[in-house]
Homo-oligomer: A and B are copies of this chain.
């Protein structure tokens, strides 16, 4: 069998370790870089190193930023009285495209007994001091509408409920542009439960 040069094999393996990249994709990416100009590979390598050097977790919301507190926590123009709880920094990227202008809190995961992740493994306790200052009056639970996301939201809701803070959960229903015909049962039930007067 043809032997791939060792240095090529190493890059294939490095790509394979990334999530969602299988052996074939790893090969394709590697051979693309092999044929691409030298700068392309250097550019990727430099970007990966620089990102690890320059980024840090925000000490307030645990989002990723180049400073701590991050741009969002540091932005006085944002509404300090609403905190949206999300699973990971990518969720902030998506949610901040809406017109939400409050603050965030990144859990860094969800409660998942199957993967041995309990409430203390994610950043729930770090949320409490933020709520105790008395500035916050609404906490939006925006974990994913999955089994784990719902369980995590419920856990936080129970923990916070003694405090005088409005707790809301993002709506589950039919995605915009979708087709009722193809929607699953649970989504349809949720859409009906969450119906509003027209």
Interface residues of A (CB under 8 A from B): 1-8, 10-11, 13-15, 17-21, 25, 27-35, 38, 40-55, 64-66, 71-72, 88-90, 92-93, 96-97, 108
Contacts and interface: CB of A to CB of B under 8 A. Distances in A.
A65 B88 CA distance: 41
Contact of A47 (B7, B21, B64): B7
Contacts of A97: 1
A5 B108 CA distance: 18
A186 to B, nearest CB: 24
A13 B48 CA distance: 11
- By DSSP majority rule, is chain A's interface helix, strand, loop, or mixed? helix
A30 B47 CA distance: 10
Contacts of A108: 35
A64 B8 contact: yes
B27 A90 contact: yes
A161 to B, nearest CB: 29
A115 to B, nearest CB: 15
B48 A41 contact: yes
8 contacts: A5-B64, A11-B47, A13-B47, A19-B29, A33-B48, A33-B51, A34-B55, A45-B46
Contact of A42 (B28, B44, B52, B66): B52
- Which 5 pairs across A and B sit closest by C-beta, in order of nearness? A2-B96, A45-B45, A11-B47, A5-B66, A7-B54
A89 B12 CA distance: 14
B71 A10 contact: no
